[in-house]
């Protein structure tokens, strides 16, 4: 019942979120109309979040959630969470901080989607219940416990806030469904009361628990420790060696933010001095001893501080340098991405060597310090939901997409989004009409709704796959259905992927780029910009037919390099997921993973491995009884060797067994 109701509710929500997103991208929109559309879009997202919470709870309650085991970046996942809530925190004048321990592994194996759901719930609650102060999302490493494998890491995640806090009595109520600590909370703050219940149950599936430390009026800390396999050793950020030994002054009145930045800098060997205010900074600068080599090379100063803000400190530094009482130092002002336009407007008469975005990320700090003198304000997340899609879709501009959808509003949303990406669009109202169009027109991809009159998407796709000339045509399901059997039905008839409803433009574009071949050979200028030309564009790599890859990719060297960069993670993840599926005796899922691996290997031109993947897939799909045994060791060994050769090429060193 919940699955059917979810589909019925999410389908019209697709029109609300999609059309409001498209409306926000219209040129010369009156400010009042922009405000209305923003509120519609935000409210629709909030309603969709509640719908998703109810469905997620029903799946957990029915024990129908299966965790993925794939490789992912911890830092990227945390950064996505912070970006998602950065605007909400900024609007409340609450500082959102991301704090990462230096020993954090770069990549681990787990379920990034479910872990992201937990983090979003915890940080979202912190933003909701914090009116002033700060919120800190911290990730660190706890000691291994007896019985833990050496290749494991105990990842400690904590969300600390200075919000309203919770009493011990109310903490006991938090993990009851549809319950909040205070009955007035739902009226004041909204929400379904399911977020923490879902988070706790997801963490239980991962072998962890949520711990809560809180007192009314004193904020809260929600934390959890997860044991996860480390995917690969952590690699240091490139080029940070030139920062070692530099002296830097970090000025910020928020202790959590200040310590986070100091930890990043000290991890690179930077000599750091802390100042807690503008006045404190001036005193420390005045006490520095240039004659003893103790002058500061860089001052990193928060803009919004009480009493003396960052720009006042910068003006004092420039005046002291001009008067000859202070040696020259680089000055970087720190601000959230939402404040940077205002900062630039106020600092027109003041020279800045850089602007550092908050919350801090190691890569952002590195890039700012290595490019002093080049001030490029960061772009805030949000605004036009479709902004930048046209540029990112450049490789597939002009591709012809068939949209098969019976509802007029959803046709409109899909058509407009695709045309905004530079694609040509034809619309069919049901499966029979789609088959007729496919007989007389060539398409690059089909977006297929599942539930339609006359002929549904499953039957239409089955008919498409019966025609030899359409066997390789990518068909993607468009559906609000989210249960496992829906996905399995799509895979069973040969659909290549699923685009969920409501349609998220970045997710749609990601699927299109994955399945539609690039449309044209890059120009000479484009090739030069990509850093490759001639034979260097498609270098010889052990295990890869580079000439065939060049032919199939139409000479697009940039795309080839992107495939190389992503292949290690993608292929390893496919193998890992197939093994996990076999352990659950889910041969269909394992076969689907092998099928996906075949596609990846084919794109790379790794022809020697294709027979191994094909053989494994065939045995997994066999209907013989008993089912034939499947040994993934040969294909896993081959993929490991291929990944080593690719990594060696990307690092600029010969792989084992190759001549330099």
Q: Which domains occur in the chain, in start order? A: 66-232 (3.30.565.10), 240-370 (3.40.50.2300), 389-514 (3.40.50.2300), 524-651 (no CATH)
Average the pLDDT over each of 333-347, 495-509, 532-546 and give the range with the smallest value: 532-546
The answer to whether residues 160 and 119 touch, using CB atoms and an 8 Å cutoff, is: no
Nearest to 364 by CA among 649, 88, 86: 86
- CB burial class (10 A; 0-12, 13-18, 19+) of residue 29? middle
- Asked whether the predicted pLDDT for residue 413 surpasses 70, the reply is yes
Question: Could you tell me whether strands 247-251 and 298-302 are parallel, antiparallel, or unpaired per DSSP bridges?
Answer: parallel
The structure tokens listed for 534 are 């001639």
Mean pLDDT along residues 357-378: 79
H or E, element range at 400: strand 400-404
φ, ψ at 312 (rounded to 5°): -65, -40
H or E, element range at 285: helix 278-287
- Asked whether the predicted pLDDT for residue 53 surpasses 50, the reply is yes
163/161 Cα distance (integer angstroms): 5
588: confidence class by pLDDT, cuts 50, 70, 90? confident
Q: What is the mean pLDDT of the chain?
A: 80
The answer to whether residues 460 and 454 touch, using CB atoms and an 8 Å cutoff, is: no
Residues 6+ apart with CB under 8 A from 331: 298, 299, 301, 314, 317, 318, 351, 352, 353, 354
Average the pLDDT over each of 21-25, 179-183, 227-231, 461-465 and give the range with the smallest value: 179-183
- Asked whether the predicted pLDDT for residue 60 surpasses 70, the reply is no
- Asked whether the predicted pLDDT for residue 556 surpasses 60, the reply is no
The answer to whether residues 48 and 18 touch, using CB atoms and an 8 Å cutoff, is: no
Q: What is the DSSP string of 17-44?
A: HHHHHHHHTSTT--HHHHHHHHHHHHHH
The answer to whether residues 368 and 360 touch, using CB atoms and an 8 Å cutoff, is: no
Task: For residue 238, count other CB atoms closer than 10 A to its CB.
Answer: 9
Residues 6+ apart with CB under 8 A from 306: 253, 277
Signed CA dihedral, 431, 435, 440, 444: sign only: positive
Mean pLDDT along residues 470-480: 89
275/253 Cα distance (integer angstroms): 8
Signed CA dihedral, 448, 450, 451, 452: sign only: positive
* Percent with pLDDT over 90 in the chain: 25
- Asked whether the predicted pLDDT for residue 348 surpasses 60, the reply is yes
134: confidence class by pLDDT, cuts 50, 70, 90? very high
What local confidence, expressed as pLDDT, does residue 651 receive?
63
For the stretch 71-124, pLDDT in tens is 888 988 998 888 878 878 888 889 999 998 878 888 899 988 889 889 988 998
Q: If you ran DSSP here, which 8-state letter would residue 454 be given?
A: S
For the stretch 383-402, pLDDT in tens is 455 566 777 888 888 889 99
Which one is predicted more confidently, 522 or 227?
227
The structure tokens listed for 306 are 């009480």
**Strand locations in 123-281, DSSP E?**
134-142, 152-161, 211-214, 220-232, 247-251, 271-275
Average the pLDDT over each of 38-42, 108-112, 241-245, 650-654 and give the range with the smallest value: 650-654
- Asked whether the predicted pLDDT for residue 193 surpasses 70, the reply is no
537: confidence class by pLDDT, cuts 50, 70, 90? low
Mean pLDDT along residues 335-357: 80
Mean pLDDT along residues 570-585: 81
522: confidence class by pLDDT, cuts 50, 70, 90? very low
For the stretch 310-341, pLDDT in tens is 999 999 999 988 888 888 889 998 887 667 77
55: confidence class by pLDDT, cuts 50, 70, 90? low
What local confidence, expressed as pLDDT, does residue 61 receive?
62
- Asked whether the predicted pLDDT for residue 375 surpasses 70, the reply is no
Q: Which single residue is written with the structure tokens 């949209």?
A: 403
The answer to whether residues 301 and 334 touch, using CB atoms and an 8 Å cutoff, is: yes
Distance in angstroms between the alpha carbons of the first and the last residue of the chain = 63
Which one is predicted more confidently, 307 or 23?
307
460/454 Cα distance (integer angstroms): 10
Residues in the chain, overall count = 660
- Asked whether the predicted pLDDT for residue 524 surpasses 60, the reply is no
Average the pLDDT over each of 179-183, 484-488, 509-513 and give the range with the smallest value: 179-183
């Amino acid at each position: 019942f919940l699955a059917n109701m979810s589909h019925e509710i999410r389908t019209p929500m697709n029109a609300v979120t999609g059309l409001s997103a498209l409306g926000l991208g219209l040129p010369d929109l009156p400010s009042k109309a922009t405000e209305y559309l923003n509120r519609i879009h935000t409210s629709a997202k909030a309603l969709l979040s509640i719908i998703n919470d109810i469905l997620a709870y029903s799946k957990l309650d029915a024990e129908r959630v299966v965790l993925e085991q794939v490789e992912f970046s911890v830092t990227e996942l945390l950064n996505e969470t912070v970006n998602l809530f950065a605007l909400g925190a900024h609007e409340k004048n609450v500082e959102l901080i991301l704090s990462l321990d230096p020993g954090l592994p770069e990549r681990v194996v787990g379920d990034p989607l479910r872990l992201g759901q937990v983090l979003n719930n915890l940080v979202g609650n912190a933003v909701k219940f914090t009116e002033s102060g700060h919120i800190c999302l911290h990730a660190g490493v706890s000691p291994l416990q007896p019985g833990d494998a050496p290749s494991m890491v105990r990842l400690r995640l904590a969300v600390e806030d200075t919000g309203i806090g919770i009493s011990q009595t109310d903490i006991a109520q938090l993990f009851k469904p549809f319950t909040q600590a205070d009955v007035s909370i739902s009226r004041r703050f909204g929400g379904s009361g399911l977020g923490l219940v879902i988070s706790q149950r997801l963490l239980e599936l991962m072998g962890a628990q949520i711990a809560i430390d809180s007192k009314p009026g004193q904020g809260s800390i929600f934390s959890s420790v997860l044991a996860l396999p480390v995917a690969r050793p952590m690699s240091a950020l490139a080029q940070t060696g030139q920062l070692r030994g530099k002296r830097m002054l970090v000025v910020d009145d928020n202790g959590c933010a200040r310590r986070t930045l100091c930890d990043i800098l000290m991890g690179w060997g930077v000599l750091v001095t802390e100042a807690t205010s503008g006045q404190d900074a001036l005193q420390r600068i005045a006490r520095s001893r240039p004659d003893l080599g103790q002058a500061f090379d860089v001052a990193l100063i928060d803009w919004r501080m009480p009493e003396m803000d960052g720009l006042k400190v910068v003006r004092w530094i420039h005046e002291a340098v001009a008067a000859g009482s202070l040696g020259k130092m680089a000055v970087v002002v720190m601000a959230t991405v939402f404040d940077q336009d205002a900062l630039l407007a106020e600092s027109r008469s003041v020279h800045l060597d850089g602007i550092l975005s908050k919350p801090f990320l190691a890569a952002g700090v590195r890039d700012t310090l290595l490019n002093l003198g080049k001030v490029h304000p960061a772009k805030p997340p949000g605004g036009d939901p479709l902004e930048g899609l046209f540029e990112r879709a450049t490789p597939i501009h002009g591709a012809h997409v068939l949209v098969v959808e019976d509802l007029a509003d959803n046709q409109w949303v899909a058509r407009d989004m695709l045309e905004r990406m530079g694609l040509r669009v034809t619309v069919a109202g049901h499966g029979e009409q789609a088959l007729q169009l496919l007989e007389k027109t060539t398409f690059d991809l089909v977006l297929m709704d599942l539930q339609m009159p006359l002929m549904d998407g499953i039957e239409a796709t089955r008919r498409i796959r019966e025609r030899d000339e359409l066997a390789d045509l990518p068909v993607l399901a468009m559906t609000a259905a989210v249960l496992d059997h829906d996905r399995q039905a799509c895979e069973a008839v040969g659909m290549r992927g699923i685009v969920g409803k409501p349609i998220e433009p970045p997710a749609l574009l990601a699927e299109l780029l994955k399945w539609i071949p690039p449309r044209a050979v890059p120009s000479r200028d484009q090739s030069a910009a990509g850093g490759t030309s001639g034979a260097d564009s498609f270098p010889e790599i052990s295990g890869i037919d580079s000439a065939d890859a060049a032919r199939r990719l139409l000479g697009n060297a940039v795309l080839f390099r992107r495939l190389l960069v992503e292949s290690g993670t993608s292929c390893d993840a496919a193998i890992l997921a197939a093994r996990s599926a076999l352990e659950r005796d889910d041969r269909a899922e394992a076969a689907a993973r092998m099928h996906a691996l075949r596609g990846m290997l084919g794109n790379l031109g790794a022809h020697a491995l294709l027979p191994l993947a094909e053989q494994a897939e065939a045995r997994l799909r066999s209907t013989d009884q008993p089912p034939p045994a499947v040994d993934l060791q040969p294909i896993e060994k081959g993929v490991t060797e291929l990944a080593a050769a690719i990594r060696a090429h990307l690092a600029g060193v010969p792989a084992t067994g190759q001549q330099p």
